[in-house]
Structure 1
């Protein structure tokens, strides 16, 4: 990296880059590009990215956040599904961050939901302005795929940020909350104004920060636990016993599992934490020989 560091993108730069490849942002791919350099630096700073970090960025787009990450990280691997954007990004980095080392940046042209591995050293952080239409599946997929990820910050739709960081018992608590909690301690890390994007989106945006921690101790697999979570929230306001029976778990196995987990049959999924779901899944897998 040069002493001056990369030259970040502003509104005119973003529009010029888009025009150079005839790009018209589409809602289908969630293409709303950040045009404010200060916002990008804020995300990198609050994500606590340092010179030893190998960062995964999903949906780098035209490179606004990428350049800010290159100011701070040892290496950035950008996963971009749009072939035109994937081809343009290396040229943008070469022009605006000419002093970085050759191995400090790499683009992977792929759908982040379908990647099975990434090149180079194991990544330590995920920092991204995630495509809003697939933000939760992408986050959960990468957390499962890349156990080396220690921390991260993602920008998502505000309502999704609320759900990801919600505690048990809150009105926004649900499947994303529990599944994210399996992997990490998650917190809401602020909001981002609409005016920092081009085009200006119709929704508010929020930041979610997370730090990896061990999942709950359990003999059940993650798939077992997530199946129970999905069943518990399939019909909100159903008791956990009714919801599990409705999902096809045998009544006897459900009753044994709830007793073993210390969960009242009349409890609702909305008040149960990830540890509760892990215990229930373990009981279901063991009790009466039932497993999923």
Structure 2
């Protein structure tokens, strides 16, 4: 269930309440007259089944409530109510299949900001992966992959392409490309520092590395894994099952490939640097392609569901 908190101009409250009452999947409607101060108006509270949430939010935006008041939605982890059970039964479709496009756009936008924190996480992840590839240590590689925040901008690109939001595409691309560029430069400097301290040496780059040598040997399977990871990651975002993102993070070699490219370049091993870069690009491209196709399929399927069994019923003729 979702909990909606609306601030509605007093002269629009009846219209909004009528909309909520004729929407399948709503429960626990409450109106607090004159409770809102900024912006001024009434506060309308309502719970709605997730599968009806996207259509209801679209209808509220169609009434202009996002401009004249406010629309806030939050996920409810536990609701004990016979009315809520009945609302979920009446709502069309299944909650796990529903996509809240406004929520997805907001989440991916927040994760696609080129910020100091984002660069710090990505830089630390790539440097950690650099230690992993130099030591041929899989544990360090897995840890670095889990730390990396790069799936946010990748999901942002896919979402923006499907929603036709060019500004979000540009912001996500900047976070992705700029973030990896800064992280790789920092990692190259990190490698030089570690070499000066005697902790890294050129022999570690050229040594036989059975556990991590695949990082700079991209093949068709690398792209297939990226496709599968992109599908799983996108489904985890749209279904609010964020725990699956950890599995996605440690199944693709974006961060390790960037680390190996930076370290190899610092030791002038251009063959490894080129192979690692190809691996990085294959993984990034595969995830974006899979994410975009997954969202397009979800949008088409849910759109057909809404047309055949809409949650928001037509209002009375005036």
What TM-score bracket applies, with the shorter chain setting the length? Answer: under 0.3
Q: Would you tell me which structure has more strand in proportion to its own residues?
A: 1
Greater RCO (CA < 8 Å, at least 6 residues apart): 2
TM-score by structure 2 length? 0.26
Quick check: which one's helix share is greater? Answer: 2
